[in-house]
Structure 1
Amino acid sequence: MTARLDGDFVVFLIGMRFNRLWRVDRWAPVVAAMPRMLRELAQKPELGFLHGESYFGRTTLMLLYWRSLDPLLAYAKAKDARHLPAWAAFNRAVGTDGSVGIWHETYLVGPGRYENVYVNMPAFGLGAAGALVPAVGPLASAQGRAAHGGRRDGASAESR
């Protein structure tokens, strides 16, 4: 299978790192804030959030998909959403004391600028954010999937 998502989208990676594991008082509130934000986003699809996956370890990773950069930035700055208070609390409690690290990376993706394949996998990542389609014909190879610009119909960028 391969995943397709019509139009542009954003891949947003965000996470934290436990720099001082014994400072539970510093990292526990950071850990607790993310599930609340994800529940809020899942309950309000109009905010532009498409899907997310979580990975835990000393450095955590959240793999998030957004419709575009504008809704992502709007959520980050919204006074009536859960993110801004969580960010303010982090800065008050942790700031730059080094006990907890946080990070994020934002990737703007357009049609024809991505490729993926899923074998023996449930809907995952972009396959859960978009739509899974059979990786057959022109979509059977990585080059073919990338060349078809994210179109579900398999039409190549050259034929449009």
Structure 2
Amino acid sequence: MSTSIHKGAFTAKTEDGFVVFIIGVRLNKLSGFFKWISAIQAMTPMLKELYQNPELGFLQETTVIGWRTVTTIQYWKSYEHLEAYTYGTTHSKAMKMFYQKIEKSGAVGLYHETYKVEKNESLYINMPIYGLAKAFSHVRITNELNTARKRMERTSFFE
């Protein structure tokens, strides 16, 4: 993530309809630490592939690290793009590894959530370009967009 701070208030200019995909791994048993690390490392080739192939529909991701969890928040052009990716070689290989080496022990958990987004609102104050603004574009807030309701209900402020 860029560390350049953009002073003031900004929002994200997004396209109509996109997908937010949240995926992560959780350390359930401390004795499974090395399995947890293996599960996290399985994400690296997938993210590399996604960033190198924009035609796959992947837009951007942010990784959040907690004490027992590592979560990746991803933005995709559509659900169809995300679904198609799950049938690809890199993802299939990672899931096969997870089921063979990790799933049976219960030491590591895997979770994901998928959201189709038709409307959204965002606010970034004195922040680097982050989240939706990084996935799409980062714009300064004007009077036409100075409340959450106005940003949520916008139709053509960006046209």
Per-residue Cα deviation, 1:71-121 (whole angstroms, up to 9, x for no partner)? 10111112x3x11100011001122421000100000011xx210110101
**Contact map agreement 1:53 1:63 (CA 8 A) in 2:** yes
Change in CA separation of 1:26 and 1:152 when aligned onto 2, cut-off 3 Å: same
- Structure 2 residue 52 is matched with structure 1 residue 46: no
Corresponding letter in the other structure for 1:142: A
Q: For residues 92 and 132 of structure 1, do their structure 2 counterparts lie closer, same or farther at Cα, with a shift above 3 Å needed?
A: same
Match of 1:105 among 109, 113, 132: 113
Match of 2:37 in 1: 28
Q: Residues 59-78 of structure 1 correspond to what in structure 2 (within 5 A)?
A: 59-78=69-88
Q: Deviations over 1:108-160 (max 9, x none)?
A: 011xx21011010111000100111121122110000001048623xxxxxxx
Distance 2:156 2:79 in 1: 18
Asked if 1 retains the 8 angstrom alpha-carbon contact of 2:20 and 2:73, the reply is yes
CA distance in 1 between counterparts of 2:133 and 2:156 reads: 12
Aligned-partner SS, 1:23:
helix
Aligned to 2:3: none
**Match of 2:128, SS?**
coil
- Aligned counterpart, 2:150: 144
- Give the one of 85, 90, 101 matched to 2:98: 90
Q: Distance in 2 between matches of 1:96 and 1:63?
A: 26
**Structure number with higher strand proportion:** 2
Alignment counterpart, residue 10 of structure 1, candidates 14, 19, 26: 19
Number of residue pairs matched by the alignment: 149
- Determine the structure 1 residue equivalent to 2:125: 119
Other-structure match for 1:37: 46
SS at the partner of 2:123? coil
Ranges in structure 2 where 5+ consecutive residues have no aligned partner: 1-9
Instruction: Decide whether the 8 Å contact of 2:144 with 2:157 is kept in 1.
Output: no
